[in-house]
Amino acid sequence: MTTLQFKNKRIINAENYKELSPVYLQQMAIGATLGFGEEFNTPEHFLEQNGDGDIEEGSVELWDIVDASAPDRVLYDCWYYLADTANVFYAGTDKDTGIAMCQDSFDNHTGTEEGEELAATLQKAYYQKKD
């Protein structure tokens, strides 16, 4: 598998989230549902739940995950939140990879061998990321 690298960390909060592209806003809405349940389904919910119910206190990190040998080629968009949780999407889409982090551990929810490999590769890249 490709060696992955976390790059281009952005802090997303109530002040700047509306400036994001529509696909990132879709990812935030999906992240709200994945992370907090079906009743949470908007970008605002995502920030609220990361701010103990107050959107003004909420913030999340958006990372590009790139091929280390081609660092300008973004493969995945990673939303990191609550200090140990993340959702990973195929770059530029609202398609969830089925790989998520909980308690600093990337887990495969796809049931596939490819998913296992991606989770392991993301885990390795996560421990090598630089804030």
Query: Measuring CA to CA, how many Å separate 80 from each of 111, 112, 113?
Result: 22, 23, 24
pLDDT tens column, 11-36? 999 999 999 999 999 999 999 999 99
For the purposes of burial, counting CB atoms within 10 Å of the CB of 78, is it exposed (0-12), middle (13-18) or buried (19 or more)? Answer: buried
Give how far the C-alpha of residue 9 lies from the chain's centroid of Cα atoms, to the nearest Å.
11
Residue 82: φ, ψ to 5°: 55, 25
Q: What is the mean pLDDT of residues 80-88?
A: 96
Q: Is the pLDDT of residue 131 over 80?
A: no
- Domains in the chain, number: 1
Q: Residue 3 is which amino acid?
A: T
Question: For residue 76, what are the contacts with CB-CB under 8 A and spacing of at least 6?
Answer: 4, 64, 65, 88, 89, 90, 91, 97, 122
65, 69, 68: which is closest to 6 by C-alpha? Answer: 65
Q: What is the pLDDT of residue 129?
A: 85
Q: Is the pLDDT of residue 126 over 70?
A: yes
> Which of the 8 DSSP states describes residue 55?
G
Q: What is the mean pLDDT of residues 86-107?
A: 97
Q: What is the mean pLDDT of residues 39-50?
A: 98
Q: What is the mean pLDDT of the chain?
A: 96
Q: Name the 3-class secondary structure at 87.
A: strand
Separation between Cα atoms, residue 120 and residue 123, nearest integer Å: 5
Look up the domain containing 92 and give its range. Answer: 4-128
The pLDDT-based confidence of 1 (bands split at 50, 70, 90) is low
